[in-house]
Each structure stands twice: as structure tokens, then as C-alpha cells.
Amino acid sequence: MSLKSDLNNFWLNSGINKGDNILLHSNIKRTFFYFKKQYKNLKVDDYFESILNIILPSGTLVLPTFNFDFNRGITFDYYKTESQMGSLTEFARISKLSYRTLNPVYSFAVIGNLSKKFYGIDNKSWYSKQSPFQVLNDYNFKIFILDLEDNCSMTFLHYCEEYFQVDYRFYKYFSGHYIGPDGKKSYKTYMGYVRKIDEEIVTNCNPAANILWERNLYKGQKPFVGNGLRFIYANDYFNFFKECYELNKLKNIFYEKKLNSTPNIPLN
């Protein structure tokens, strides 16, 4: 066996197929060191290239390159503001193959066949129907999660919450300096559909994940079990949320009320 074939088998055995359109949330630390013990020359770019070797040219890879500094008054620079979502996402951000969407908080690096569907998306509201999340739903992407619980990864939930205008969130505005792809600096305002912290709202979608496993809508392995990689189709997640919304069962499945709540990262 070789490093290349072992990495390819890792993804193929996890449900990634040739030509897939995937969104990948990842904590690569555990599996990276597993392969590092066998192949001393392993680098993050080996991980990155091994995924692309499987899904391109007909598939699409999307990775979150979220950065929350804009919300704290720090200038967003399209080419310099780093991803805060881990080493694999940062490698994707700087790759010459990728296109980065324009929102200063919830941006994505996109590579592959459907890249043009994401071009020019500068959604003013983080999770709106004008955001990259809508493309993920329209084309029913596979949402893959590696060694992360849902509560620290399933940002697609917030698109669902804004889509249905849930009553435990509200629009909050964030303004700051923005340096775009053209190098020009401007002052821009964006908005997030954020939790009502004063009502002690806390995001907790891990109960939803348990139900999705019971319904066999999640496929693969749970965090830190086996290869730790699982996936669900975007439409399946959306439809489950819609079901709970229409039955008024969102509470204690997707969120809860708790005293002395603290923000979840990256879920807001």
C-alpha cells in the first residue's frame, strides 16, 4: 500500500464517491496522526489532494473558511483573513484551485464542477436564501463531518432556522471595514440571524443528530469511532428540520433554554 492509496481508501470507505458534491466540516487531528505514524512525509496537502482526486472533475468540494473577527470590529481582507475552521480549510482557502465566497464571517472555499454557482455570492445575511447554504440545499450536497459533534459543525442548521424564521432568533447587524477581491477598502454592514441570548437560548442540535442516526439518515461513523466520518444529505437535514418546525418540536431537538448560556463556536 502507499500513502496515496491509503488516503483514497479512507475517503472511499467513508461514503465519498467519484463525482460527489460535498461540504466537509473536519477535525483532522486524530486521523492525521494515524497516517503520520505510517507515513512520516504526510502533509495537509496530501489530505486535500486525496479528496480532490476522488471527486473531481465532475464533483465539487466546499470547505468552511469562517472567521468571526469582523463581528469584533477587525477588518476583513478577502485574501488575507484566515479561516478559523482548522488547517485543512486554511489550506483550501489559499489554494489556487479554490474560489472563496464573499461574506466576511461565513465564507466558503469552493473547488470543482459547481464552483460557478457560488461566484459573486455576497449575502448580507449570513444564512439567508441568497447565501451559499441555499446552493448546498438546491444541489443536495452531502454534508460530511469528521470527528466533530453536530453542535460544533452543523452550521447548515442555521440556514434552516432563518429559512423558516424561527422565533428564538433575531437579526443583528455587524458593520466594519472590508477589503474585497479588488483590493478596495469599504465600510460594509452584514447581519446574522442570532440566538436570543437574553431569553437564554442555547444551540444544541446533538439530540437532532441522535434521531437522524436512528432514522438511518446519517451514514458512516460517529465522532472518534472508527474513521470518525459521517454524512447526511442536505435535503434530508432540511426536511427533518421542516418536519420538527411544522410539529412545533424544535425545542430540545435543535435548541434549548439554559441559564448562564455561553456562545457555541462555530454555531452562533
Residue 264, domain member (yes or no): no
pLDDT at 261 > cutoff 70: no
Q: How many domains does the chain have?
A: 1
Residue 259: per-residue pLDDT:
63
pLDDT at 20 > cutoff 70: yes
Segment (H or E) for 144: strand 142-146
Residue 268: per-residue pLDDT:
45
Mean pLDDT of 122-128: 98
Mean pLDDT of 247-267: 74
**Tens digit of each residue's pLDDT (9 = 90 or more) over 88-104:** 999 999 999 999 999 99
Banded model confidence at residue 44, pLDDT cuts 50, 70, 90: confident
Residue 266, domain member (yes or no): no
Mean pLDDT of 122-148: 98
Residue 161, domain member (yes or no): yes
Residue 262, domain member (yes or no): no
pLDDT at 45 > cutoff 50: yes
* Residue 62, all three cell numbers: 466546499
Residue 67, domain member (yes or no): yes
| Mean pLDDT computed over every residue of the chain | 94
Q: Report the predicted TM-score, pTM, of the whole model to 2 decimal places.
A: 0.94
Residue 267, domain member (yes or no): no
Mean pLDDT of 131-160: 98
Residue 81, domain member (yes or no): yes
pLDDT at 265 > cutoff 70: no
Answer yes or no: are the C-beta atoms of 1 and 8 closer than 8 Å. no
Burial 124-157 (b: 16+ CB within 10 A, else e): ebbbbeebbbbbbbeeebbbbbbbbebbbbbbbb
Of the listed ranges 9-18, 160-169, 241-250, the one predicted with least confidence: 9-18
Q: Which domain holds residue 33?
A: 3-257
pLDDT at 262 > cutoff 50: no
Residue 263, domain member (yes or no): no
**Tens digit of each residue's pLDDT (9 = 90 or more) over 230-255:** 999 999 999 999 999 999 999 999 99
Q: What angle do CA 100, 36, 47 make, to 5 degrees?
A: 25
pLDDT at 6 > cutoff 60: yes
Mean pLDDT of 65-76: 98
